[in-house]
Amino acid sequence: MHARADAPFPGPGSDNPSDTLADAIDAILPQTQCTRCGYEACRPYADAIARGDAEINRCPPGGEAGMRALARLTGRPVLPLDPECGAEGLRRVARVDESRCIGCTICIQKCPVDAIIGAPKKMHTVIAALCTGCDLCVAPCPVDCIEMVPPQDAESGWSGAQRDRARARFARRNERLAREAALRLARHADGAPGPTREPGADRLAVIRGAVQRARAKRASRDPLAAASGSAGAPTHADPTDRSA
Give the interface with ligand SF4 as residue ranges (CB under 6 A). 29-30, 32-37, 39, 41-42, 45, 59, 61-62, 94, 96, 101-107, 110-111, 113, 115-116, 118, 124, 126, 131-137, 141, 143, 145-146
DSSP label of 2: -
- Closest CB to ligand SF4 among residues 22, 146: 146
Contact predicate 17/6, CB 8 Å: yes
CB of 77 to ligand SF4, least distance (A): 19
Question: How far is residue 178's CA from residue 170's CA, in Å, rounded to a whole number?
Answer: 12
CB of 17 to ligand SF4, least distance (A): 21
Question: How far is residue 122's CA from residue 124's CA, in Å, rounded to a whole number?
Answer: 6
CB of 100 to ligand SF4, least distance (A): 7
- Closest CB to ligand SF4 among residues 50, 104: 104
CB of 13 to ligand SF4, least distance (A): 21
CA dist 121 to 100, 105, 227, Å? 12, 8, 28
- Closest CB to ligand SF4 among residues 24, 116: 116
User: Amino acid identity, residue 166?
Assistant: A
CB of 38 to ligand SF4, least distance (A): 8
Question: How far is residue 99's CA from residue 9's CA, in Å, rounded to a whole number?
Answer: 50
Question: How far is residue 208's CA from residue 65's CA, in Å, rounded to a whole number?
Answer: 44
- Closest CB to ligand SF4 among residues 194, 235: 235
- Looking from the CA of 231 toward its CB, the CA atoms found within 13 Å total 17
CB of 193 to ligand SF4, least distance (A): 29
- Closest CB to ligand SF4 among residues 11, 163: 163
- Looking from the CA of 145 toward its CB, the CA atoms found within 13 Å total 23
- Closest CB to ligand SF4 among residues 11, 118: 118
Contact predicate 117/124, CB 8 Å: yes
